[in-house]
Amino acid sequence: MSDILLLLAHPDLQHSRVHAALRTALQPESARAGARWALRDLYALYPDFVIDVAAEQAALLKARLVVWLHPVHWYGMPPLLKLWLDDVFAYGWAYGPGGDRLSGKDLWLVASTGGTEASYRPDGHNRFFIDAFWPPYEQTASLVGMRFLPPMVLHGAHRAPRAEIDQHVAMLIERLRSWPDWPEIADLMPCIQGVAPEGERPMVETP
């Protein structure tokens, strides 16, 4: 029973090195019966940006670990993954009254950047450490009650040598197979679903 849901979001896989390699490596397992994980290639599933919310939520319900695989574009996620978030993490389902369907699951970000590790420093042209861009992810996880696992990032994706990409892929697969027995998980705080004050939610008047 696959309890790992991999969501791949890359707007231009044809010109991708890292994510194309990830897809090639992850897909065969996903298609197997009794697979360890299920891979959903969002840009292939929804080329018209019309997300099948019911299908996505059903896939989420089955999973215990949700992995987002995407390149960092403009310091955040690609637009289709953001739309997926907007549509699928619905009020009353993922958060808000009765919205506890995702509570207790793990969320793991596996990202790549074009900039090198050195560029993500106060003296580099990206000016901030990469960790400075994760708070929106962490808070999203917190609001729906998911545990945000430490992201795995590959820097300098455009110029990374083939060997480095292969190593990245192998490492990812190894980690997926060993989850949830990761040393760092033991150090993580148990996750508690965050609650936003009433006024910051869409107002639902009781009829």
Partner 1 sequence: MSNWLILTLVYLAAAVIAVPLARFAGLGSIIGYLVAGIAIGPYGLNLVSDPQSMLHFAEFGVVLMLFLVGLELEPRRLWALRRPIFGWGSLQLFGSAALLFAVAVACGVAWRLALVAALGLAMSSTAIGLAVLNERNLSSTTAGQGVLSVALLQDIAAIPILALVPLLGSGAAHESGALDSWIEAARALAVIAAIVFGGRLLLRPMLRWIARSKTPEIFTAAALLLVVAIAALMQSVGLSMALGAFLAGVLLAESEYRRELETDLEPFKGLLLGLFFIAVGMGIDFQVVLRHPGLIVGLVIAFLSLKALVLWTMARTMPIPLAERSVFVVLLTQGGEFGFVVFQAATQGRVIDGEAASLLVAVVALSMLLTPLLLLASDRWWAAHLLAHRQETTEHRIEAPQSAPVIIAGFGRYGQIVGRLLFANGMSATVLDHDAEQVEATRRFGWQTYYGDATRLDLLRVAGAAQAKVLVVAIDDVDQNLALVDLARQHFPQLTIVARARDAPHWTKLHQRGVQFIERETLDSALMSGRSVLELLGIEPHRARTLAQRFRRHSIEQLVAMAPHLGDEKRLISLSKAGRQQLEQLLAQERELAERTRGRTDDPSLGEASGALSADRPT
Residue numbers at the binding site for partner 1 (CB under 8 A):
48, 50-54, 57-58, 86-93, 95, 140, 143, 196, 200-205, 207
CB 78 within 8 A of CB 41: no
- What is the spatial distance between Cα 107 and Cα 146, in angstroms, rounded to a whole number? 6
CB 194 within 8 A of CB 142: yes
SS3 119: helix
Beta partners for 23?
A: none
Nearer to partner 1, 91 or 129 (CB): 91
Nearer to partner 1, 185 or 192 (CB): 192
CB of residue 203 to partner 1, shortest distance in Å: 6
CB of residue 16 to partner 1, shortest distance in Å: 19
Reported as type and span, the H/E element at residue 70 is strand 65-71
Nearer to partner 1, 26 or 143 (CB): 143
CB of residue 58 to partner 1, shortest distance in Å: 7
Angle at 189 between CA 185 and CA 192, to 5 degrees: 120
Nearer to partner 1, 86 or 166 (CB): 86
Nearer to partner 1, 101 or 155 (CB): 101
User: DSSP code of 95?
Assistant: B
Report how far Cα 163 is from the mean position of its chain's Cα atoms: 24
CB of residue 53 to partner 1, shortest distance in Å: 4
- Which residue shows structure tokens 């010109």? 15
CB of residue 100 to partner 1, shortest distance in Å: 11
The region that residue 96 occupies, defined by phi over 0 for left and psi between -120 and 50 for alpha, beta otherwise, is left
CB of residue 42 to partner 1, shortest distance in Å: 16
- What is the spatial distance between Cα 5 and Cα 28, in angstroms, rounded to a whole number? 14
Nearer to partner 1, 49 or 128 (CB): 49
